[in-house]
Structure 1
């Protein structure tokens, strides 16, 4: 067991190494290979984050801290050996918090393939965390008439094929994908604004899948009825 003096020395070395990595963009020397020392530095910074009350302040600090740890994670990712890496897992979460979705998804896909655990404070595994986060973002974007691609479809492909999510979240993805095809310029799902029968049929098929995954909670009946009405109207034109 290490003494208080040794622990203090290790934390000091860890903080020095993290700062050097931030300054140079590279993790170097023996400290570059010491996950223990990296986590000691991270522990100090997590305390700083915990002391902040405002989410905006936490985001600002995470943006400042990210360059300190990115070189360590990049070095780990280019190595041949894989193992549980809490630093890597934490930075994946931070990237989503910062809205850096492209990098976040690149790393999240690796983390999921490696079976990385989410940080200890989180109850969800990485597939559920990523799917929840991207769907919440996509719903807000779509409601404001903003683009959700390529990030929504990238995650939806996983949801539909290889991520074993719970039924409710899976249904939400199929429902959102269906409604996305129906949205007008204002972000409202409106079948009457769609002129292509094929698009309406694709949307309906996705809503059917949503209902199959969650017959009670999906609540797609009204949308499907409106699609059917629109298809009948187009046939009569």
Structure 2
């Protein structure tokens, strides 16, 4: 007896055949962008209607949507023409969702420079999306005692020197930078009282102070006072 494929399996098989088939219905001419966007919206609609579980959505993006649409985004970049490209932007988002950060950040920087719009259901610009997504990943990684490099430094440099974001977003990044500087060799945040390096304490204080200046409710006031007390104690 032949097994009946689920809607997910049917759709994935259809996409797999399209990707492999050299006579794919996806056309390459720039004039066909509106046709591709219709199909893209159909795929997104399918994703939303058929997947509630976050892990299932991520897996579908990784195994079905990106293999189908990423070559079209790559083709757009190779053409060298700049225009609003929903396929390119969605691929950036899916790359972040699937934690393929190297290419995700590379493409996001291009998209930001091109002033690419985020999807209609987004309430933020692309730079804000990148900052929030990488922050969440860094916070989760730190909690698990894992390294947050190189992605933390890549994005923090942009936040410090290039991007103008909402104050609360900038504040949480400076706070994270301060906490990152306090990590011991086991990836745990050290108590201020355990640090004897005044230069390090001053650097951390500067990060926390900047965070507090951006957003006073970010929650670093106590640590700033602890650092000041610790520096005074070490100077005696």
TM-score range, shorter chain: 0.7 to 0.9
Residue aligning to 1:32: 28
Residue aligning to 2:106: 106
Does residue 148 of the first structure (1) align with residue 148 of the second (2)? yes
CA–CA distance in structure 2, aligned partners of residues 28 and 143 of structure 1: 45
CA–CA distance in structure 2, aligned partners of residues 192 and 27 of structure 1: 67
Conservation of the 8 A alpha-carbon contact between 2:172 and 2:218: yes
CA–CA distance in structure 1, aligned partners of residues 72 and 18 of structure 2: 8
Residue aligning to 1:139: 139
4+ long deviations beyond 4 Å: 18-21, 26-30
Per the normalisation by structure 2, the TM-score is 0.84
Conservation of the 8 A alpha-carbon contact between 2:26 and 2:36: no
Residue aligning to 1:208: 209
Does residue 190 of the first structure (1) align with residue 191 of the second (2)? yes
1:40 Cα deviation after fit: 2.5
Conservation of the 8 A alpha-carbon contact between 1:22 and 1:69: no
Question: Structure 1 192/47 Cα, relative in aligned 2: closer, same or farther at 3 Å?
Answer: same
Conservation of the 8 A alpha-carbon contact between 1:171 and 1:211: yes
Residue aligning to 1:72: 72
1:195 Cα deviation after fit: 3.6
SS of residue matched to 1:32: coil
CA–CA distance in structure 2, aligned partners of residues 193 and 168 of structure 1: 29
Per the normalisation by structure 1, the TM-score is 0.84
SS of residue matched to 2:179: helix
Conservation of the 8 A alpha-carbon contact between 1:21 and 1:67: no
Gaps of 5+ in 1: 1-14
CA–CA distance in structure 2, aligned partners of residues 123 and 228 of structure 1: 39
SS of residue matched to 1:31: coil
Deviation digits for residues 75-133 of structure 1 (CA, Å, limit 9, x no counterpart): 10111210000111111111111011111111111110000011111111111111111
1:182 Cα deviation after fit: 1.0
Gaps of 5+ in 2: 1-12
Name which of 12, 23, 27 aligns with 2:20. 23
